[in-house]
A and B are shown apart, each in its own frame.
Chain A
């Protein structure tokens, strides 16, 4: 078994993911400053673009404070779970077509698992532990509230998240994410790309909304609602342990934008690029670029919505999850089935 290839892939993806998280943090701050008509970070480096590096150095140097009444072991474990789940989810997402290097074709995916979609859902399910355990182990009522809210929220929205993917699975006929991307590379009538966002608009919207809830972004950031809960589940965290929670939030955002790109926006598919007659290596790099561009669009949406909408009230959150999202995604599955049956007759 050749172990070198996966190790190099993991190193590259991990490095890219961590760097991208730092950049997205800064992008979020800069963009929010632009929306609120202020400057944002502008002192460190040219135009403030080195601010994230300064922040990381600050977090690493900070003292790690553990409350006296906290459960030490679980308090240490919780941020590890959060960051592990956030980073390992990317393993099954293809970020490009095969790339020809040194006379060999390489798949641009770390682990092409047969049950890739289920793996991602299982990983998001595991993500609950990081937040819940952080909230419980701190022995602080605000932290506990944050932890409880996160469990309830994640469990509620996991259902509609899974159900909104069923339509995509039905169309592609596979659980393998690479195959789902490949199933979107055709064209309808010769000019409309067969992206799932066009054939599954309702699934796309419900998945997008659920992904906000799963990544705890505004308007779904109740687990850390700072006006009500101080800092929510991470109230009692300081130093790099807080930094890991912060990092995993942004890493989760990047991973879910990559997932939305792969499942609904055609992944690395660049429409009509295969007819331009380019060198295979250039074409492969262009496709990676297309994937990153689509991810960037989704991330921009996350940022704009964060600074546009106010936070939900708790009962509104639950009503939306159980009374709107769930029925809509079940109806979407039914409608997809009926249309597919009608089309294949």
Chain B
């Protein structure tokens, strides 16, 4: 086994192990920390696939941005005694239906897709300019739709926050 394979399996174990902790941990703070390890391992996978841009963006957005906000919320709420936060298994039947549906769709997509492999992917080449050009030419419409979606979410969040302050 070379270094590449060893690190692949190391991160795979880390990823799956921490993901299991996220799902099954009854301590919400511990789950949030395990999520950090999960997201970091995903970034490591991108780096192993030589997708440097995606790997760094994963760090920047998920670990450095979104998870900070999740931790923020968890830390501020988990010491509240008056509010009962349920941390166990709730709504088992709807959860099974939703997850099995999504899991089925994902599994179908994975099985039906042809996965072309190429050796050249192990060389370090700048991916950022290619991605940027693709976003502004071939994939302009999805790119713009995604940005409009984010804008809608932003306006909606501001609206909800404002309304609560008035009442």
Contacts and interface: CB of A to CB of B under 8 A. Distances in A.
Given A125-B60, A155-B65, A132 B72 contact: yes
B60 A122 contact: yes
A110 to B, nearest CB: 15
Interface size bucket, B side? 20 to 34
A330 interface: no
Given A114-B128, A122-B56, A151 B64 contact: no
A125 B64 contact: yes
User: Most chain-A CB neighbours within 10 Å: which of B64, B71, B127?
Assistant: B64
Contacts of A281: none
Interface in A281-333: none
B21 to A, nearest CB: 14
Contacts of B106: none
Contacts of B64: 121-122, 124-126, 128, 158
B76 to A, nearest CB: 8
A233 interface: no
A115 B124 CA distance: 11
Give the interface size class of chain A: 20 to 34
Which are the 8 A-B pairs with shortest beta-carbon distances? A125-B64, A122-B59, A122-B60, A118-B56, A114-B126, A136-B75, A115-B56, A115-B52
9 contacts: A115-B53, A115-B56, A115-B128, A118-B56, A118-B60, A125-B64, A125-B65, A132-B75, A175-B126
Interface of B: 33, 36, 52-53, 56-57, 59-60, 63-65, 68-69, 71-72, 75-76, 124-128
Interface of A: 74, 113-115, 118-119, 121-122, 124-126, 128-129, 132, 136, 144, 147-148, 151, 155, 158, 174-176
